[in-house]
Structure 1
Amino acid sequence: MTDPFVPYSASHLLMLLSLLAASLLLYAFRYRLRGSPGAKKLLRLFLAALLAVSEAVLDAWNIAEGTWNPRYTLPLELCSITLLLSVVMLLTRGRLLYQILFFAGIGGALQALFTPNLVYGYPHIRFFQFFIAHMLIILASLYMTWVENHKPTWKSVGVAMIFLNIAAFIVGVLDYVLDANYMFLMHKPSTPSLLDVLGPYPYYLLAEEGIALLFFALMQLIFFVLPEKWRRKSALRGPSAM
């Protein structure tokens, strides 16, 4: 019998370290991949296939266990939505989807990885499916950034926020119709999460909006604005130092 999931246990930390290692490897080999169209295409399709398989595994497990239920297992959670859109993004290299997924995909998946809404611990199949799927969502957008050389702008932050609100509206309607709680729009999850410190319903939904906007802005600053300023300063200092 599999033990229940324990946050920040050795297995949880190992998954987080695996994401860090995979991200560093992708960053380290970004120029080599850019210079090899064949390798770049192979990696892009491989990531897309892994994302699709991870979602298929979840559906197959729910069907096999007899737990498939439209109230709980439709792909209407934010990470399920961004996972499926990540597949489309990788296949099409779409810039509009990238603008959304760099922020909404990475932001949502990171929150899930650090505060998992997960019952099953290592080595249950759901443990591996959960962490692999969320890591792949992040790696898909990092691939588009570091290998395909896509870059979001400040306008992209607004695009991502608009997407989140449209998605929340549609999912909220479906929650009402199905008596469900996708995206935790009706109440908080039963497991510990960031929502626990954001106040009662519905105030935590408003707090989420502010946190998402702040987090997206910080991502834009850390990944793009500040490095670009540093590169410009370095370029200006170069000739004068010679």
Structure 2
Amino acid sequence: MLSLATQREFTAYGPSHLVVLAIFAVGAVLLVWIGRRQSEAQARVLGRVLAVLLIAAYAVALVYKLIRPDIQTSVPLQLCDVAELAAAYALWSQRHWAFALAYYWGLLLSSQALITPDVGTPAEGAPDFPHHLFLTFFTLHVLVVWAAIYLTWGQRNRPSWRDYRFTVGVTFLWAAFTFIFNAITGTNYGYLNRKPPTASVLDVLGPWPIYLLTEIAIVLAVWALMTWPWQRRSVTEPTVRSRAQEI
């Protein structure tokens, strides 16, 4: 393992980041293509293979965190941590409620980590490939978004307004628990209790708690937009079929 003195620093949209994005794009297309052509038994096998990969990456990342535990970073309380477990369970079990969480959390929230990655920790900096922080960070986030894409466009699962309400409720429960945990321990998981010390997009959303309210409004609106097209299609398709039958 390279020492911190010689380890390259990660640069957003540098060579390693662009390679990750290329792998992500190709993999997403392949998963949709394969998903639409496989049998139910094949889909079950592929889903469980992806679930095992996701859980394995999650376990490796957690072990590294616990080697030198730090309450500020070692507790798996980020929403992306919960999204990883939900996506793995959705892939393994094909349960619809787990798919709903993977869909909303993965496509909107975990995908942001691929676009604006926050690799590393305050203690170890932001190391580039092949450091374990780089590998676990991108492996986990790529797999979560792949899971959401595969389950939606490959397996043709569809979100509903009921799924929207369920995900909003679960997300608020996570936020309430994490906020209380942060208040007791002085941590800041999810940036719920204060802004991060470095510059971020939250800086343009106002001071605490205004930026939290703004975030909530944005997420609720985007999730609604992620639900509406599928529900609109499910309403219009029966109408089209009924008209065809009349003709």
Superposition TM-score, scaled by structure 2 size: 0.84
Query: How far apart, CA to CA, are the structure 2 residues paired with 1:237 and 1:19?
Result: 41
1:101–1:160 Cα contact (<8 Å) kept: no
Structure 1 residue aligned with 2:59: 56
Amino acid of the structure 2 residue aligned with 1:112:
A
C-alpha distance in 2, partners of 1:150/1:52? 22
Between the two proteins, the alignment pairs up a number of residues equal to: 234
Matched position secondary structure for 1:188: coil
Contact preservation (8 Å) 2:36, 2:155: no
* One-letter identity of the residue aligned with 1:43: L
* Percent identity for Structure 1 against Structure 2: 29
Residues of 2 paired with 1:18 and 1:189: CA distance? 29
Moved more, 119-128 or 180-189: 119-128
* Alignment correspondent of 1:18: 23
Aligned to 2:212: 205
The residue identity in structure 1 corresponding to 2:35 is R
The structural deviation recorded for 1:182 is 0.7
Aligned partner of 2:142 in structure 1 is: 135
User: In structure 1, what is the equivalent of residue 42 of structure 2?
Assistant: 39
What are the superposed Cα offsets for residues 187-208 of structure 1, whole Å, 9 maximum, x if unpaired?
2224443323211211111111
What is the letter of the counterpart of residue 212 of structure 1?
A: V
RMSD: 2.5
Q: 1:161 to 1:15 in 2, by over 3 A?
A: same
1:152 equivalent to 2:159? Answer yes
Evaluate the alpha carbon distance shift between residue 30 and residue 231 of structure 1 in structure 2; reply closer, same or farther with a 3 A threshold. farther
Structure 2 contact 78–189 (Cα < 8 Å) conserved: yes
The letter for the 1-side match of 2:17 is H
Question: What residue in structure 1 maps to residue 227 of structure 2?
Answer: 220
- State the shift of 1:235 in Å: 7.7
Secondary structure of the corresponding residue to residue 26 of structure 1? helix
| Residue 8 of structure 2 corresponds to residue 7 of structure 1 | no
Whether contact under 8 Å (2:7, 2:128) holds in the other structure is yes
Q: Secondary structure at the match of 2:75?
A: coil
Q: Which residues in structure 2 correspond to 1:109-128 (within 5 Å)? A: 109-118=110-119, 119-128=126-135
Residue aligning to 2:105: 104
The 2-side partners of 1:236 and 1:37 are apart by 29
Distance of aligned partners of 1:24 and 1:229 in 2 relative to their CA distance in 1, 3 Å threshold: farther
Gap regions ≥5 residues in structure 2: 1-5, 120-125
Equivalent position SS for 1:195: helix
Query: C-alpha distance in 2, partners of 1:9/1:45?
Result: 33
3-state SS of paired residue (1:32): coil
